[in-house]
Amino acid sequence: MKTATGTSFAKIILIGEHAVVYGQPAIALPVPTIQLTATVTPRADHAQRVRSSYYTGALAAAALPFAGITQLVAQMLTHFDATTQGFDLTITSALPPERGMGSSAATATAVIRALYAAFDAPLTRAALLEWAGVSERAIHGNPSGLDAATTSATVPQWFVKGHAPEPIAFPTRGTLVIADTGVRGQTKAAVAQVAAALQADPARVTPLITGIGAAVKRAAHALATSDLVALGASLNASQQALATLGVSSPALERLITAARQAGALGAKLTGSGQGGCMIALAADGAHADRLIAALTDAGATSVWRHDFDESEGHA
C-alpha cells in the first residue's frame, strides 16, 4: 500500500428521488464546487484509524452510518489480500452530512478511489458502483444506486436502477439554489416509510410513484428544449407527490413556500427528505440572488448556488 487520495462531489437529485427505488428514472447532478477527499496513508503498525468531522477513531469501532464504510473497507482489504494492513484514513468534506447531498455515497466513492490508487489497481466505473453498493446497502437498506452514480460523476446523470448511468445534457441557462433546513434527513427511515406506504395501500401509492416518473420524463424533455418554465412545473409536480408520500417536512415546506413566493420557477425537496435540503429553480443569476435572500430570511442554515452552465454536460 502507498499513500493515495480519492475525491468525489456532492450530489443534487434534480427530480426522481424515492420513485427511483421502484424502477422509475431520475435526474441528478454532481456539484463539483462541493468536494470530499479521502486520503489513505499506510502505518507501520496494524492499526486502522479514521479521522473525519463525522467520526474519529478505530475504523472497526464506528457506529452506523459510518459503519457502512467500515464494512466497505473490510471487504476491499480482503479483495486486496491486505486485511492486516495498518493505515490512517483521513476524510475532508465540504458536504453537510445527512442533508440529502449524498455525503455517505460521496464518502464511499472517495474511499474506494483512494484504496484502488493505494494498491495501484485500475478501477472501472462499474466496479466503483458495485463497491459503493456495499456501504450504501449497510446504511440505507435498499439504495437505488443513484447517489453513488452521481457523487462519482462529473456531469449530470440520467439514472434507472439496474442500468449503467448515462450523461444527460443541461441547458446553459438556469440556476439552482440549494438550501439546507439545518434538520438532519434520515434516508433509511424515509425509504422505509415509502416502502411501508406502498405495501399498505398500493392503489393509492403506486400512482404517486409512476406520477413522479412521468414528471422526470417531462423534466428531461424540458432540459432538452431549454424550457425552464416546464422544468419548474415538473419539479413542483414531483414535490406534490413527495409530500403526499409523507417525505416532506414543515421545515422543507417553509423553504419551498418562501422560494415560490420569491418567484422560483419550481421548488422541491432533494434527496430522501424529512429534513435535509431543498432546491429552487431560478431563471437567471439575478433571480437566484433574490431566491438566496428569501431562503436565508426564511431560516435556511446554508445556501449554495449551482448555475447549469457549470454542469459541463450542458446542451
Q: Which is nearer to ligand MEV, 40 or 132 (CB)?
A: 132
Out of 191, 209, 235, 281, point to the residue binding ligand MEV (CB under 6 A): 191
Phi then psi for residue 138, to 5 deg, are -65, -35
Q: Which is nearer to ligand MEV, 279 or 288 (CB)?
A: 279
Out of 4, 10, 15, 20, point to the residue binding ligand MEV (CB under 6 A): 20
Q: Which is nearer to ligand MEV, 39 or 104 (CB)?
A: 104
Q: Which of 78, 85, 81 is nearest to 46 (CA)?
A: 85
User: Cell numbers of 277, please?
Assistant: 435540503
Q: What is the DSSP letter of 185?
A: P
Radius of gyration over alpha carbons of the chain, in Å? Answer: 19
For residue 272, state whether it binds ligand MEV (rule: CB under 6 A): yes
For residue 222, state whether it binds ligand MEV (rule: CB under 6 A): no
- Stretch touching ligand MEV by CB under 6 A, among 113-121, 140-148, 203-211, 293-301: 140-148
Out of 59, 91, 116, 147, point to the residue binding ligand MEV (CB under 6 A): 147
Tell me, letter by letter, the H, E, C secondary structure of 278-308. EEEEECCHHHHHHHHHHHHHCCCCEEEEEEH
175-180 vs 277-282, strand pairing mode: antiparallel
For residue 17, state whether it binds ligand MEV (rule: CB under 6 A): yes
Q: Which is nearer to ligand MEV, 171 or 213 (CB)?
A: 213
Residue type, 158: W
For residue 98, state whether it binds ligand MEV (rule: CB under 6 A): no
For residue 21, state whether it binds ligand MEV (rule: CB under 6 A): yes
Cβ of residue 17: shortest distance to ligand MEV, in angstroms? 4
Phi then psi for residue 254, to 5 deg, are -60, -45
Out of 103, 144, 181, 311, point to the residue binding ligand MEV (CB under 6 A): 144
Who's near 166: CB < 8 A, 6+ residues apart? 157, 158, 159
CA distance 160 to 23: 6
For residue 187, state whether it binds ligand MEV (rule: CB under 6 A): yes
Q: Which is nearer to ligand MEV, 166 or 297 (CB)?
A: 166
- Stretch touching ligand MEV by CB under 6 A, among 43-51, 143-151, 163-171, 261-269: 143-151
Q: How many CA atoms lie within 13 A of 12 on its CB side?
A: 27
What are the DSSP E strand ranges found in 191-297? 266-270, 277-282
Out of 6, 9, 18, 186, point to the residue binding ligand MEV (CB under 6 A): 18
CA distance 238 to 262: 20
Interface with ligand MEV by CB under 6 A: which residues? Answer: 13, 17-18, 20-21, 100, 140, 143-144, 146-147, 187, 191, 271-272
